[in-house]
């Protein structure tokens, strides 16, 4: 099950998407993994325990993706707005990201996962974390079983602004080539957990024709059954892309 690059011969409005007339599960899925902090507070745990639990669920659902026919999974791990959180939480998250990338990349590599990180890699992102992200991408670059895109220090508006700075073309496909990961597919389906119903500056360009599923579970409680139900909800819809 290979994660192929976007087809450049497609119309600009549907580039990188898969058509669905009902009955087909999505191949490209993005998730807003919301609710880690609330999950921890409900259990009297420190907020970083919630983030660790959420990272475990990302890995579990990634493995489910392989079973369920998903070729590319994109997860929202840290937004450009998350720097506003407490210094303690942010520092803990940075350390957690370094630790988990170092520990889990060899394992994911053995499982055929290709890793990509999308977002700004400039300060205030720690240099050690930037180096570890590049290391993980290099190690897994040749893998084709499934692609995991991690949106880190990511904002949809920031991505569009950064692309616009170097854009000199005239078409949507020209513009796409300036995004953080031009070969990343537009998500067929965007899932958000925790009961919130908004995009929160996530994949604003890529999500133009995505279907949405909103779930009440906090992210650490998002089981395989919840995931399959979300995929089935997508499969029951018909995507028209502006047609009839």
Catalytic residues: 34, 82
Question: How far, in Å, CA of 215 to CA of 32, rounded?
Answer: 10
3-state secondary structure 48-86: HHHHHHHHHHHHHHHHHHHHHCCCEEEEEEEECCHHHCC
| DSSP 3-state of 218 | coil
Query: Whose CA is closest to 121, among 110, 113, 111, 132?
Result: 132
Contacts of residue 144, Cβ cutoff 8 Å, sequence gap at least 6: 1, 2, 3, 112, 114
Tokens representing 85 are 């959180």
Query: How do 113-118 and 146-154 pair as beta strands?
Result: parallel
CB atoms under 10 Å from CB of 178, counted, come to 17
| CA terminus-to-terminus distance, the chain | 31
The answer to whether 167 and 175 have CB atoms below 8 angstroms apart is: yes
CA–CA gap between residue 147 and residue 115 (Å, rounded): 6
Residue pair 77/33 in contact (Cβ under 8 Å)? The answer is yes
């Amino acid at each position: 099950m290979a994660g192929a690059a976007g087809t450049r011969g497609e119309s600009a409005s549907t580039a990188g998407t898969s058509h669905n007339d009902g009955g087909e599960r999505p191949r490209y899925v993005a998730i807003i993994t919301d609710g880690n902090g609330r999950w921890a507070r409900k259990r009297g745990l420190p907020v970083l325990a919630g983030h660790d639990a959420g990272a475990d669920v990302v890995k579990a659902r990634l493995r489910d993706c392989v079973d369920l026919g998903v070729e590319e999974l994109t997860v929202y791990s840290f937004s450009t707005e998350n720097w506003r959180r407490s210094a303690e939480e942010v520092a803990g998250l940075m350390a957690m990201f370094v630790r988990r990338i170092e520990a889990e990349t060899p394992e994911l590599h053995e499982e055929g996962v290709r890793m990509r990180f999308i977002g700004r890699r400039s300060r205030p992102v720690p240099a050690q974390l930037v180096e570890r992200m590049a290391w993980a991408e290099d190690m897994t670059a040749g893998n084709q079983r499934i692609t995991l895109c991690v949106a880190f220090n990511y904002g949809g508006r920031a991505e569009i602004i950064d692309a616009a700075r170097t854009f000199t073309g005239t078409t949507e496909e020209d513009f796409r080539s300036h995004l953080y990961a031009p070969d990343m597919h537009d998500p067929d389906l965007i899932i958000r957990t925790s009961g919130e119903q908004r995009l929160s500056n996530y994949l604003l360009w890529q999500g133009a024709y995505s279907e949405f599923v909103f779930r009440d579970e906090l992210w650490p409680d998002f089981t395989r059954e919840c995931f399959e139900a979300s995929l089935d909800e997508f499969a029951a819809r018909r995507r028209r892309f502006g047609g009839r």
